[in-house]
């Protein structure tokens, strides 16, 4: 038997990457690499990268810079870079970083064991970034893909339902680095969730760039609401979430699912990106502000407890003060529960990067601050409305002071109580609402 080796994974970016990192750990555990949180101890360090905004790329190079001393101290250490920057830059990363061993793209996780062996045994440096569209390899077998750290008390799990994106929003690099949309066979999804539930998982988040395009595997005739309904009947599972639903495709039947499926939590992440019709058009989002507001109304009409969160980009090319005012107005009308806002960042290959009317950095900065200030007020007001109310909380962890968990509406809730309650759902009375969380007591 080979001597046991250790793997350290650093993850940047979105839930797709979080999930891929879990898959990497699960896959490599079967190849004698045990996860470690200690970089000093690692025989293999993998950086899973995101390229959605500018800073993300700089972070890759600076992170790799910090790994140099580790390699100098331990020359047999293998360093790999995966994810969206790897997909985008490929070979050129190997050229730029001489102590980097492996580059693997978003469809190439299954190639890792081979790449690692070649690096270890033959000192081979390699880059694999081929897209495996339409080939089964890209969906790792759910059993293999089961996160290596499960069975150690994890309460929530991420489950991929589809890969890639066909929307080509004019600012976004995702379709270029994740490829075309591909849905995963529903039987595999169900099997994976059942496996997760066996290890103690109570809540799953179904992930995909646009889950409403879900259509099942080859030859399957299904859709996302049907998938949700199947998952809702899995014994032992308590909660279902999903991310992300594109506003243009948020269907009536999906909105109805919130009423008919008891496990589906009342939270929709519905990224609006801008409140201005002109900018939405230039972004190629496929909806108007009115159409968006109608969907919000429909969600709240059917499900009054619904929490709605959003992503917004400020300073998209050509965004005027009036366009930005429309965005501010949108946030006030919808009264989001939480908002992720970003300064527009030109991405290679995308259409918006070539637009001539780029917005100066200081204006982007000013708009971002104004938006954050406004949202902070709204979040605080909304969370204060919870004071005195009773909510269901799934307890996910405990720091020395308190238990923490999430309400069905995706609010972080802090409670006093015994560590043994982690993994349970409890009812709690909220005593205090702050901008980012709720505090309460178990009843
Ligand atoms: N599929 C999801 C979003 C994935 S990317 C959706 O359609 O909503 C996550 C977020 O990053 C986006 O919602 C957007 O707000 C932001 N983003 C994407 N490209 C960006 C860019 N070039 N500059 C700034 N923010 C960007
Ligand atoms: Fe990017 Fe648009 Fe696809 Fe979301 S829907 S991943 S923003 S191209
Ligand atoms: Fe980033 Fe890739 Fe996700 S670019 S946001 S890690 S799909």
Q: Show the DSSP H helices in 239-390 as ranges.
A: 252-260, 277-283, 289-302, 321-334, 361-384
Q: Where are the domains of the chain?
A: 5-128, 132-265, 270-383, 390-442
Q: Which two tokens stand for residue 92?
A: 């050129």
Residue 150 above 80 pLDDT?
no
> What is the pairing mode between strands 203-207 and 390-398?
unpaired
Angle at 244 between CA 139 and CA 235, to 5 degrees: 65
Which atom from ligand 3 is nearest to the alpha carbon of 84?
Answer: 2
Task: Give yes or no for residue 168 CB within 6 A of ligand 2.
Answer: yes
Tell me what percent of the residues of the chain surpass a pLDDT of 90. Answer: 87
Same topology for domains 132-265 and 390-442, yes or no? no
88 CA to centre of ligand 3 in angstroms: 11
| pLDDT tens-digit map of 58-99 | 899 999 999 999 999 999 999 999 999 999 999 999 999 999
Burial 92-126 (b: 16+ CB within 10 A, else e): ebbeebeebbbbbbbbbbbbbeebbeebeeeeebb
Domain 132-265's class?
alpha beta
Q: Is 60 exceeded by the pLDDT of residue 142?
A: no
Predicted pLDDT of residue 146: 61
**Does ligand 3 come within 6 angstroms of the Cβ of 174?**
yes
Residue 280 CB contacts under 8 Å (≥ 6 apart), including other chains = 273, 274, 287, 288, 289
**How far does residue 120's CA lie from ligand 2's centre (Å)?**
37
Bond preceding residue 244 cis, omega within 30 of 0: yes
Looking at domain 5-128, what is its CATH homologous superfamily? Methylthiotransferase, N-terminal domain (3.40.50.12160)
Please tell me the class of the 390-442 domain.
mainly beta
* Per-residue CA distances from 153 to 33, 72, 146, 198, 372 (Å): 21, 36, 14, 11, 35
Considering only CA atoms, which residue is closest to atom 1 of ligand 2? 172
In CATH, what is the architecture of 270-383?
A: 2-Layer Sandwich (3.30)
């Amino acid at each position: 038997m080979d001597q046991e080796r250790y793997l350290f994974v650093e993850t940047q970016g979105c839930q797709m990457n979080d999930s891929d990192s879990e898959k990497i750990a699960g896959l490599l555990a079967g190849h004698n690499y045990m996860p470690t949180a200690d970089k000093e101890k690692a025989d293999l360090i993998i950086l899973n990268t995101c390229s959605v905004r500018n800073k993300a790329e700089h972070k890759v190079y600076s992170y790799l810079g910090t790994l140099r001393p580790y390699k100098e101290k331990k020359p047999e250490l293998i360093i790999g870079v995966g994810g969206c920057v790897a997909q985008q830059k490929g070979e050129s990363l190997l050229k730029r970083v001489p102590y980097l061993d492996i580059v693997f793209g978003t469809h190439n996780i299954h190639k890792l064991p081979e790449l690692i062996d070649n690096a270890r045994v033959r000192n081979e440096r390699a880059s694999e970034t081929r897209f495996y569209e339409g080939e089964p390899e890209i969906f790792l077998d759910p059993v293999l893909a089961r996160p290596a750290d499960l069975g150690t008390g994890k309460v929530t799990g991420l489950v991929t339902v589809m890969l890639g994106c066909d929307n080509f929003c004019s600012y976004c690099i995702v379709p270029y680095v994740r490829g075309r949309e591909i849905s995963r066979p529903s039987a595999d999804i169900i099997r994976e969730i059942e496996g997760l539930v066996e290890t103690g998982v109570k809540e799953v988040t179904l992930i995909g760039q646009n889950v409403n395009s879900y259509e099942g595997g080859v030859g399957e005739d299904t859709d996302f609401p049907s998938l949700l309904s199947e998952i809702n009947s899995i014994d032992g599972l308590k909660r279902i979430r999903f991310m992300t639903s594109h506003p243009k495709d948020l269907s009536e039947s999906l909105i109805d699912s919130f009423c008919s499926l008891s496990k589906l939590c009342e939270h929709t992440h519905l990224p609006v990106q801008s409140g201005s019709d002109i900018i939405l058009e230039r972004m190629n989002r496929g909806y108007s502000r009115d159409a968006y507001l109608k969907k919000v109304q429909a969600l709240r009409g059917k499900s009054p407890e619904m929490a709605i969160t959003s992503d917004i980009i400020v300073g998209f090319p050509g965004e005027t003060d009036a366009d930005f005012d429309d965005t501010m107005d949108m946030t006030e009308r919808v009264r989001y529960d939480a908002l992720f806002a970003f300064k527009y960042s030109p991405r290679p290959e995308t259409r918006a990067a070539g637009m001539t009317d780029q917005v100066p950095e200081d204006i982007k900065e000013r708009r971002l601050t104004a938006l954050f200030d406004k949202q902070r007020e709204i979040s605080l007001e909304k969370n204060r409305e919870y004071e005195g109310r009773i909510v269901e909380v799934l307890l996910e962890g405990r720091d020395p002071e308190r238990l923490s968990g999430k309400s069905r509406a995706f609010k972080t809730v802090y409670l006093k109580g015994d560590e043994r309650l982690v993994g349970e759902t409890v009812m709690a009375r909220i005593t205090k609402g702050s901008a980012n969380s709720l505090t309460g007591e178990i009843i």
